[in-house]
Chains A and B, each alone.
Chain A
Amino acid sequence: MMRQLALLGALAIASAHVTAQTHAGYPIQTSPATGGDGTVQQSDTNAYSLPQGNLSMTRRLDFSVGNSFFRNPWVEAPASTDARDGLGPLFNTNSCQGCHIKDGRGHPPGVDEPPVSLFLRLAVPADAERDAEILRKHGFKPAPVYGSQLQTAALPAAKPEADLIIEWTPVKKTLADGTVVALRKPVYRIENPNYGPLPDNLLVSPRVAPQMIGLGLLEAIPIDDLQALHDPDDADNNGISGKLNQVWDLATEQTLPGRFGWKAAEPDVHQQSMGAFAGDMGLTSSIKPTTDCMPEQNCERFTHGGEPEVSDKVANFVTFYAKSLAVPARRNLESDSVQQGAELFNEIGCAGCHTPRHQTGQVADRPDLSNQTIWPYTDLLLHDMGPALADGRDEFLANGNEWRTPPLWGIGLAQLVNPQAGFLHDGRARSLEEAVLWHGGEAQAATERYRQMSSEDRTALIDFLNSL
């Protein structure tokens, strides 16, 4: 019920703000209902954990079932029930919430903490011809023996793949007015490899767990709308290219556009979720019948937790949950600084990739996600982010400099939900300003304009981001 009332509130505010619908060629959000009719009003530590506000009562029950499987830990097989067994033997964590903390972002480990909500994807350079089949279906060539990601935890009778050590190098950025901002750059070391030496040509790509809100809405954006933004050769000459990834769809066994994951390597929420079960928790599912345990690692000696370990029923509940987490409403929309920041966001070019507004299409069985005006601030396309953020590792059409534009909705609550949350793909940025200053490549010009801004304008831009 709070949703319907929230909507009434939203309409009231929207009608009070009929001015300034666009600025600098991009739309300006004047309604707090960032996620459309399903937007929720909560803005505390649980702000990311609520079901779509316009979900029917029976679907909210399904949400709570999915939530149970998302939140509770999975256990070693054999256990006397099929429900939650089959963990590992190699894994990064034992529950979805272990990384998506309170359905929010993960973070790099603190001092003397093992990494949990951040891991390294692994690969070795591929040969376009010889490795064509694996590139078509997997997007990259996994490292021999260690596979596609470094799993730093294992069942008691197995050994974790290795320890991941992160050290931080200080980096200073000086703004035009002389203000110095201290950033930190991660340096990764893999120590104590337990399955033989790592290859010399190993490519690593750090990934921190992203927030879970609004995923069903992002999936509901018509692909034609993303295709229309796709401009790989920068034909419109605005310095921003934007590339729709093309990835392997396991369910239909064909190449389809990718929109989820830091490099948009997954076509939909279900495949992304089953990928996380397989890679992060060592759990098989119908569409991902193998985990990231390689034949050389001898995982067959461990009892499996069913075939598949994540039953279709449980898989569908978890995917339903992941597609139904609501987006929180905007706060402080009335503030002068926030309104000024919104215009600056468009003016300096942030909105060139962080596309403010989309309209969802019709989704079968999901009226709550259908035909909604949403404000995710993403184009879901790949962009060159420059050498400082590059991982040097390809994934389908994404090259080593490219990352998918992450949505910005709810970002102002990220550190309320998880106080340790960091920004960017590896969580290196401790604040939104740090995150802005790391943007290079296609975003270099926008970052440079930020650098030139007055202190008041910079505050306004950050106030705007915090109001999302």
Chain B
Amino acid sequence: MKMDLIQPFINSADAVLSQGLSSTTKVGNLSMEEEGYRRKGVAGMVALSGDIEGRIILDLEPQTALRVASHYAGTALPESDELIKETIFELANQVVGNAVCALNDQGFHFRVHPPLLVTTEEVDKTSEDVEALVICFETSLGNVFMNVALHHNKRRMSDHAKVGA
């Protein structure tokens, strides 16, 4: 997977998290996903379709998700609160939305789909041309994991090339 696809998502997550949590974040471990992705806690997935296709998963351990959601809510939330899931969804939306803006400026066009809750313990293994990268963001409230699996849509890119020719 090309870094030029990944970098906007890293920059976006860094900006969204540091602004939202009012503290600096640090990009920690980066790892390639060899097998299926194992969910760590509360995970929201946003799919992209168009010139670039794939999905982004934002995944927080349950206690980190609770702390983050409570921070945004401005009050301590109970562990079972629906707002925890909603917070992770909205964060995933914001990370993807901001990254998509940067990629759109580079000429890529796509559609962002509404976020989905990842409920299975393990997400399907990605295919050879859709390797996934897992990035850990170290924040003051705990680690936030972002799983990025994207690939160029060769048919769409080729259509654009024909139009441009």
Q: Do A and B actually bind?
A: no
Using a CB–CB cutoff of 8 Å, the interface residues on chain A facing chain B are none
Using a CB–CB cutoff of 8 Å, the interface residues on chain B facing chain A are none
